[in-house]
Amino acid sequence: MFDIGFIERYGAGIKMMKRLSEEWGNKEPRYEFHPLETKIIFDSPIQESTFIEIDDISGQLNERQKNAFSYVQRHGQIATKEYVELNKVSRRVAYEELTDMTGKGLLFMIGKGRGTKYVQRLND
C-alpha cells in the first residue's frame, strides 16, 4: 500500500484509528486475520448514519461546498486534494472553503498536514 501511494508511512493509520476510537467513545478496533486478508472491525455505539439535507444548509454554502458536502455524504470523507479535483480550484481555495465548512459545524477535521481529512460532523 505504501509503494502505490495509499499510505504515507507504515503504522500511522492504525495508531490514528485507535486514538480516534478512544476520543469518540468507541471500543478499540479489533482485528481478524485470514490467510488472504486482514479485517479491522470498529464497534460503534452509533446505529445509523446521520444525513443532512443539502436544502437545509443551502444558504450557508456556495456550489463548490455543496458538491463537497454531497461527496462527504457519499464517501464518508474528503481531503483537500479531492476538493481540488472535484471543484477545479486551487489548494488555497479548497482549504479556505473546507475550513469555512468546519467553522460552520458541518464538517469535522481529522489529522494534520497532508493527511487531513474532513468528515461529516455527527449530531451530539
DSSP string, 65-116: HHHHHHHHHHHS-B-HHHHHHHHT--HHHHHHHHHHHHHTTSEEEESSGGG-
**pTM for the predicted model, two decimal places:** 0.55
Q: Where are the domains of the chain?
A: 1-47, 54-120
> Between residues 4 and 112, which one has the greater pLDDT?
112
* Confidence at residue 122, expressed as pLDDT on a 0 to 100 scale: 56
Residues 6+ apart with CB under 8 A from 121: 105, 106, 107, 108
C-beta separation of 19 from 11 below 8 A:
no
Residue pLDDT, tens place only, 20-48? 788 777 788 888 888 888 888 877 665 55
Residue pLDDT, tens place only, 51-83? 555 555 667 889 999 899 889 888 889 999 999
* Confidence at residue 4, expressed as pLDDT on a 0 to 100 scale: 75
CA distances from 97 to 25, 69, 91, 104 (A): 29, 11, 10, 11
* Confidence at residue 53, expressed as pLDDT on a 0 to 100 scale: 56
pLDDT band at residue 94 under the 50/70/90 scheme: very high
- Please give the average per-residue pLDDT across 90-107, as a whole number: 93
CATH 1.10.3720.10, applies to 54-120: no
Query: Scanning the structure block, which residue is given the C-alpha cell 507504515?
Result: 10
Query: Scanning the structure block, which residue is given the C-alpha cell 480550484?
Result: 89
C-beta separation of 16 from 9 below 8 A:
no
DSSP string, 28-44: PPEEEE-SS-EEEE---
- Give the orientation angle of helix 91-103 with respect to helix 80-87, to 10 degrees: 110
